[in-house]
Each structure stands twice: as C-alpha cells, then as structure tokens.
C-alpha cells in the first residue's frame, strides 16, 4: 500500500519525520510543565566551541576581518550631540565561502550530517542559508536540496530570492521553489521523508551553536585590537538565530557587559504569508514579519524546539525603515568602499543611529555583512518595487506606508532607529507559552524568567493578568 502524501497525512507524521531527519529526540528535553531544558538541548551538538572552530576552519569558515568604519563614524558624529558618536565597526562575514555568516551555521550542520552517515541535506530557506548549506555540502560531497518560498500566485518571484536560487544552484544544489504560504513546509517535510536526508534546519542546536564562534571571535579580536570588549553588538534579527548564537559566543568569551541589540526592518502591517502582500515588501529577511513572531513564539520554526531564543539575550530592539537601509547601503559603498547586501546593512543603519546616543570613546559593532549580487542589489530591489506599484521618493522615512511606498531620508538627521517595547514582546511570549496551562509551577516561572530575561515579579504579574493559577 502506497504512503499517504496528502497535506494532512504528512503533517500528522511531522514528529517522526523530524526525529528521523535531525537525529535528535526532542522529547527527552521536555519538562513536566511548559518548559524544556534548553542548555541540555544545546549540548546535544556534542561539540565544544574549540571543536566547532576547528570544523569551520576546515572549510575556510570564520576568522573574518573586523573593520572600523571611520568615515561613517565621522559622519554620524556630525549629527550627534557634543561628545557623542561611538566608533562603528563591522565584522565582515561576506568573507566566508558562501558570502554570509550563515556559513557558520551550515558548516556544523553539514559536518554532523556526514558524521551520522546521511547522504544528503535539505534546508527550507529563501536565501543565504541555502547557499551556505549548498556550499558546505559540495565541500563534503553530500547531496543538497534547498526548498524556497519564492513566488506569489502570479508566479512572480522577488529578485533577491531568485538571485539566491542562482547561487544555490551554482554550488550544485537542487532548488525546489514554492509559492507563498503553507506549501513550503509541506514540501519540505515530504522531501525529508522521501529522501531520508538530514534536516539542516536553521533552528537546530548545530546551526545556532555554529554562530557562537562569531560572538567569540568578536570578543577575542577586540581584546587584541582595542584591549577591551565592545560596548554594544547589534544584530539584524529575523528568526533569532543570528542574535542568539552571537550572544552565546560573547558570553562564552566572558564579554558579559556587552549590550546585545536586535535590529529589524519595520514592515509592520504586511503579512508574510499573504499572497497579495508577498511582493509588496523589498526585504526578504531581517524584518518584523519574522523578528517579532519568532521572538514571541520561537517554536513556530521547522523543529519541535527552536535553538534560536532571542528574548533570552536581547537587551534592546530597534527598527529601521526600508529607505533607511537602502541609503545606508549606498553610504557603505561610496564612503567605505564596501558593497554589501541588505541583511547586514539593516543593523548598520540602526548602528548609525544608535552610535549617536553613545559616547565617542565607546564602540558599537555590526556583527555581520553579506555578499551582494545582481538580484540582491538595491537597484534591482527598487526597480522591482516600482514594477509592483510602490512609490519611491526622498522625504521623512517615518512617514513610510508599508506596502505603498519607500521613503529614502532626504537628510541624514531623519535616519533614526525606532524603539521596540521589549516588555510588550515579553508579555506576548508569556501568553503564548502559558495560556494553555491550567496551573503554573515554580519551575515554569523560572523557565519563563530565563526565556524572557526578566524578573519573577514580572512573570507573576503577567500570569495574574492572564488569569492562570499558581
């Protein structure tokens, strides 16, 4: 009898498919209540930080340059109050083999897949991670399939996603493209079951632990270069793995006083799974459509328990607009001679603003850059936006209407990162985690405190507001 591959049947087999394709029994980490043993799950990688550095080094991943943006720093100081304007640095992750920090995630995952005897790897991603997995798979002699959410119902695909598909194929991967919506996850699960390949998910412990080397390198490089740790590290935030892994690496380096700042493009009001709105945004990652829901409900990912838990580590969260990132991309190229893609430039735009709040002797680090290419270039993005009815003009970015226009700052004084209320996100996480529970134990409260980086009083107040018994 042939196996039932209907949507409902495949989804019902998700737990077993995941267990078979990752080699991790997530049930062993579950607590009696709402929580789970996160640190035990992270140790499931079986690799120390030093071993991960060695694994990555074997394929040329890591040890990327740390560069000071002197011209951008001087420009920021022109708009800052007297004595303000922190030094801006970037960690040039575009130097990795596949052109982004995600090579670190992929290196560990693909190495582990080969070690366990899998013949191939599969990743569900629209972009840089797919290229990273494909690159690492080529080096290790494994097959690779990348599943992309690429098109709307008119079969119109965004230029950045199409560019990333080209890069994946250049590394020898098979790219399976789907329309926006639930089709992606269904196709992903079906392929995992049919092929028996390893699930090189962005959100496994292997992937997140791989980014720990990035945070660790930042601390080590600054101690060698400046004799101290940076005051703040700013991370473009989407699914949360970038920020989580970087923060954990900084902590392992002993950089306990470095503030961790998340930054996303503000696409509030645009639904990421909407066919109509899919092509009315000019950013495929690093925006609020991922950053907010994944922060408040991390386990919405493609594994039972996500290893990306950004609210555990985030000290601050800010938003920038599309036009601000596009302008910063131009400034980076024309003032610092570095042409880089939009993901890292999201954090750079935020850093330009945040630096103006900090003292001149302080240091802020943008912890990643990414490669750019034909479809990822801002000209391609803006042309595509115009073709989809988006107006583009200079003015005040804060007047931008998402899905209707893109406003580039007519003056750099208008480039200002907007604050996100972290307590609002924390409240949402507590509600998502605890609303199905009839009673909350002390262990549950401790878990929620850690999960939200907050106090017992805060958690107890939220539970009381939700009407949940202790």
Largest CA distance in the chain: 76
At residue 437 the predicted structure's pLDDT band, cuts being 50, 70 and 90, is confident
* 45-54+100-204 placed in CATH 3.20.20.140: no
Question: 83 burial class (0-12, 13-18, 19+ CB within 10 angstroms)?
Answer: exposed
Mean pLDDT score, 416-422: 98
Alpha-helical runs (H) found in 355-416: 378-387
At residue 269 the predicted structure's pLDDT band, cuts being 50, 70 and 90, is confident
What is the token pair recorded at 386? 């115009």
Helix (H) or strand (E) holding 446: helix 442-452
Q: Which of 2, 4, 11, 3 is nearest to 186 (CA)?
A: 11
What pLDDT digit, counting tens, does each position of 219-244 carry?
A: 999 999 999 999 999 999 999 999 99
Mean pLDDT score, 32-57: 93
d(CA 14, CA 11): 5
Residue 55: predicted pLDDT: 97
The count of other CB atoms within 10 Å of the CB of residue 121 is 29
What pLDDT digit, counting tens, does each position of 163-218 carry?
A: 889 999 999 999 999 988 778 889 999 999 999 999 998 899 999 999 999 999 99
Class of 60-97+206-419 in CATH: alpha beta
Residue 1: predicted pLDDT: 56
d(CA 175, CA 208): 23
d(CA 351, CA 324): 12
The whole-model pTM stands at 0.96
Q: Contact at 8 Å (CB) between 81 and 168?
A: no
Report the DSSP pairing between strands 363-366 and 87-91: parallel
């Amino acid at each position: 009898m042939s196996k039932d591959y209907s949507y409902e049947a495949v989804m019902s087999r998700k737990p077993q498919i995941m267990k078979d394709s990752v080699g991790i029994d997530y049930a062993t980490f579950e607590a009696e209540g709402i929580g789970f043993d996160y640190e035990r799950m992270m140790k499931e990688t079986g690799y120390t930080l030093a071993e991960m550095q060695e694994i990555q080094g074997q394929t040329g991943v890591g040890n990327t340059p740390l560069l000071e943006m002197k011209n951008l720093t001087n420009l920021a100081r022109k708009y800052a109050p007297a004595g303000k304007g922190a030094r801006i640095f970037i960690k040039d992750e575009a130097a990795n083999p596949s052109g982004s920090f995600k090579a670190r995630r992929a290196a560990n995952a693909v190495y582990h897949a080969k070690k366990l005897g899998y013949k191939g790897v599969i990743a569900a991603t629209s972009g840089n991670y797919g290229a990273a997995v494909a690159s690492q798979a080529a080096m290790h002699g494994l097959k690779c399939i990348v599943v992309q959410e690429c098109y709307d119902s008119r079969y119109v695909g965004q230029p950045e996603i199409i560019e990333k598909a080209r890069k994946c194929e250049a590394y020898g991967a098979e790219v399976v493209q789907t329309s926006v919506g639930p089709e992606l996850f269904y196709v992903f699960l079906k392929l995992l079951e049919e092929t028996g390949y390893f699930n090189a998910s962005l959100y496994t412990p292997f992937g997140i632990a791989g980014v720990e080397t990035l945070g660790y390198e930042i601390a080590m490089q600054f101690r060698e270069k400046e004799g101290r740790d940076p005051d703040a590290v700013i991370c473009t935030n989407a699914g949360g793995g970038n920020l989580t892994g970087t923060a954990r690496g900084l902590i392992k380096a002993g950089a306990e006083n470095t503030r961790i700042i998340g930054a996303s493009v503000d696409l509030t009001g645009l639904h990421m799974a909407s066919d109509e709105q899919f092509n009315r945004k000019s950013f495929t990652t690093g925006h609020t459509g991922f950053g907010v829901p994944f922060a408040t409900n991390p386990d919405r990912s493609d594994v039972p328990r996500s290893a990306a838990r950004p609210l555990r580590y985030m000290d601050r969260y800010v938003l920038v607009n599309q036009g601000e990132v596009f302008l910063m991309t131009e400034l980076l190229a024309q003032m610092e001679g570095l042409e880089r893609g939009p993901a890292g430039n999201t954090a750079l735009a935020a850093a330009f603003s945040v630096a103006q709040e900090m003292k001149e002797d302080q240091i802020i680090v943008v912890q990643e850059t990414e490669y750019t290419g034909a479809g990822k270039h801002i000209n391609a993005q803006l042309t595509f936006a115009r073709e989809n009815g988006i107006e583009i003009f200079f003015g005040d970015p804060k007047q931008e209407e998402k899905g209707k226009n893109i406003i580039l700052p007519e003056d750099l004084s208008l480039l200002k990162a907007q604050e996100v209320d972290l307590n609002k996100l924390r409240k949402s996480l507590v509600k998502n985690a605890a609303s199905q529970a009839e009673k909350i134990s002390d262990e549950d409260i401790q878990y929620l405190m850690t999960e939200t980086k907050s106090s017992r009083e805060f958690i107890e107040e939220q539970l009381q507001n939700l009407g949940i018994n202790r």
